[in-house]
Amino acid sequence: MSAELQSNPEYPTELAYRKVLDQGFVALIETMGTDASIVQAARVSYGKGTKTIRSDKALISYLIRHRHTTPLEMVEFKFLMRLPIFVARQVIRHRTASVNEYSGRYSVMPDRFWVPPLGAIADQDAVNRQGRSDKLAELLARLPAGSGIDPEQLRDPEGRRAFAAEQGAGDLLPTECYAFCVERLLDRFPEERERLEAVRTSVRTNNERCYALYRRLMEQGVAREIARGVLPLTLYTEWYWKIDLHNLLHFLKLRMAPHAQFEARAYAEAMAEYVKPVVPYVWEAFESDFLHGSFLTGAEKEVLRPAGEEDRRAMLLALHERGYRLRRLKETCRKLDIDEALVDELWPPRDKA
């Protein structure tokens, strides 16, 4: 990334810039706070004795599960990002960040545009009105027997990651793995590859045409703030983006979801890689209880609640085997409107006498 950064000498060159998409990046500028900051803030409310009751890790897990978000706001992250305008518009919808963006009124916009990789191009989904179809699934369904590729491996995210590593692609993020696998499959479908290449060429040609008009308008004396209006949404913009951890996790929950736009997911995944080492306890709880968790409606809870006592016992035993301690098992009972005394029956309290 160092050569690209020379276009803006104000950017810190000592940072680890993570490349995203074809010409974008995410870099972590600075942070304020760690897991310890969250625990410290929480214990202002919980009192002096809390530390002897549960560990820092358990306390953070409790905060995440019960949506006690104020302590998470004690931690902040500031990122530097380069991203296409159409992605930036999705990111800026999260109105909880402080943003300062590159100005097309003050400066000439660089000739830097997004062109989709073949692995990310797909047709409009027949059901999802705002999304694209699953190109990988489509190609796997058409893959002939004896191709030497295991379809089941590529349907699984971890399998795709292993496949990419076997092919020498290195350690890729989920969106990168997906695009990589699609492009490998396209080697077996030359007509489809040719069609997608034509799409790429059309996007690139339009980018070049629009930028040429932009430059021509400015050469004619037209103000930069007017001339920039002809530039497409594929233009890359840059900004500093600062947000507290509570709102950042909400952003990541939405933008890392499978139905989020592919390009927005790519940025969310890159940002998450910076978050994990700064607040590892928070990330573990977030990933387990929030990112991969779901809320239940009243009707869903009523239908899914185990009906008989034996089924309820089996559920609690299964959760206990997954590491749920007794206090958390009672939380589960309260969520599902089950008598938590069942936990004491299964694991009788020890006599403290």
- Catalogue the active-site residues: 255
Are 104 and 224 in contact by the 8 Å Cβ rule? The answer is yes
What's the CA gap between 180 and 262, in Å, rounded? 13
What's the CA gap between 308 and 340, in Å, rounded? 14
Burial 182-193 (b: 16+ CB within 10 A, else e): bebbbeeeeebe
What's the CA gap between 175 and 179, in Å, rounded? 6
Q: Are strands 236-244 and 76-84 parallel, antiparallel or unpaired?
A: antiparallel
CB atoms near residue 91 (< 10 Å): 19
Which amino acid is it at 315? Answer: M
For 185-248, strand residue ranges (E) read 236-244
Vertex 41: Cα angle to 36 and 42 (nearest 5): 100
DSSP label of 124: B
In terms of Cα–Cα distance, which of 73, 41, 75, 74 is closest to 59? 41
Residues 6+ apart with CB under 8 A from 132: 122, 123, 124, 125, 262
